[in-house]
Amino acid sequence: MSEKIQLNIIGLTTGHSQKNSYTLILGEVEGDLKLPVVIGSYEAQSIALVIEGLKPQRPLTHDLMFDLIEKYDVVLKEVVIDNLVEGVFYAKLITEREGITFDIDSRTSDAIALALRANCPIYTYKNILDDAGIIYEKEVSEPEAPQHKKESKPKSSKNDLSTLSIEKLNLELEKAIQVEDYDKAALIRDEINKRV
């Protein structure tokens, strides 16, 4: 087996050639190689929410899965992207319960969504990073929360938000989270953070 290399989440980008897909950019902790992983919009939403520090009103599937893991005293120790076949990454959840370690097969996007919730490390092997890793010349933007809803909603402009008090911003943030408008919630959160 090749050397294991720890990865961090660098960013989440839109505009991939596949419809309703996003590219999750993972980067080696000690190095310049980046690993682009194409994921679906639901998984991107679930990952972006944790990165953005937003909590949905009701638990998403990954929240439910993580809650079950914790309730049954299973510890998610790490996630390992352990294979690459015809451009598709494969991953394993490395779990432990009562001193016994179990490897659980997982889609890479699901594994990463759970790793973020468990605050556990993400790894891959050197041979996978050597095969699929690339060096980005420009920095990837901050992760974006993809929109699930098809209907277009008018986005709040920064000017509208700048006129609101902190109390009103907090109310608007709560409303946006309740209706699962995470794009608006992220804008409001950014405005609140600028003032604090």
Closest alpha carbon to 85 in 108, 66, 68: 108
Is 180 inside any structural domain? yes
Asked whether residue 26 falls in the same domain as residue 75, the answer is: yes
Q: Does 52 map to a domain?
A: yes
**How close are the terminal C-alpha atoms of the chain, in Å?**
48
| Gap between the Cα atoms of 11 and 3, Å rounded | 24
Flag whether pLDDT at 129 surpasses 80: yes
**Which residues 6+ apart lie within 8 Å of 14 measured at CB?**
22, 144, 146
Domain count for the chain: 2
Matching residue, tokens 């953070």: 193
Tell whether 120 and 162 lie within a shared domain. no
Full-prediction pTM beyond 0.85?
Answer: no
20 and 109 in a single domain? The answer is yes
Please give the residue that has the higher pLDDT: either 139 or 193.
193
Mean pLDDT (the chain) is 83
Q: What would the pLDDT profile of 137-192 be if each residue is shown by its tens digit?
A: 555 444 454 554 433 334 444 447 788 888 787 777 777 776 667 677 777 777 77
* CA 137 distance to own-chain centroid: 22
Q: How far apart are CA 34 and CA 144, in angstroms?
A: 18
Q: Let me know if residue 150 belongs to a domain.
A: no
The boundaries of the domain holding residue 163 are: 158-195
pLDDT band at 47 (very low <50, low <70, confident <90, very high): very high
95 against 159, higher pLDDT: 95
- In this structure, are residues 74 and 97 in contact, taking their beta carbons and an 8 Å threshold? yes
What pLDDT, on the 0 to 100 scale, is given for residue 160? Answer: 75
